[in-house]
Amino acid sequence: MKEMEFRTDKFMRSLWEMLDTLKNDFVGDMANDATSVARRLIDEPNNAKALVHMNEIRTITDMANNYQHDCKALYDAFDKRFRFDHGDQKHSATALDVMRIITEISSDIQDIAPHIEFLFEPSDECIPSLFRDAFVTTFEVPAE
């Protein structure tokens, strides 16, 4: 029989790594898109069409900024909740506490981080897999 313990620090570290990867991939993709539009802008002699390209670059920039902001906001929401409810200890929250926190953040995701709400869709396994992976074996009783 195994005794499993939820590790808040492991969950938060994994959440940060996942959000940082998502953010970097998205911002990189948006930078590539903006570069393509900028190339079209350079070659555009018509001012009206050039303005359309400039607006497109602004939209891409806004999307990247919003995504980046939402990744940080989601991490901060979890961090704030863990610290407020359970302090800084790595073992402070129980699995039931974490499920409650995830559920509460999920219900407020439109206000916290609307551009990454897909992480809380029932079909998405990101948050549940982080939850499962944050358990560590603390004690194992050999089978008799």
- Contact between 71 and 21 under an 8 Å Cβ cutoff? The reply is no
Q: Render 10-32 in DSSP notation, one character per residue.
A: HHHHHHHHHHHHHHHHHHHHHHH
Percentage of residues of the chain with pLDDT beyond 70 = 87
Q: Which pLDDT belongs to residue 69? A: 96
Does 142 score more than 70 pLDDT?
A: no
Does 138 score more than 70 pLDDT?
A: no
Q: Which pLDDT belongs to residue 38? A: 94
Rounded Cα distance between 94 and 125, Å, is: 20
pTM above 0.95, yes or no: no
Categorize the per-residue pLDDT at 7 as very low, low, confident or very high, splitting at 50, 70 and 90. confident
User: Buried b vs exposed e over 100-113: b needs ≥16 C-beta within 10 Å?
Assistant: ebbeebeeebeebb
Closest by Cα among 117, 135, 96 to 10: 135
Neighbours of 19 (CB within 10 A): 22
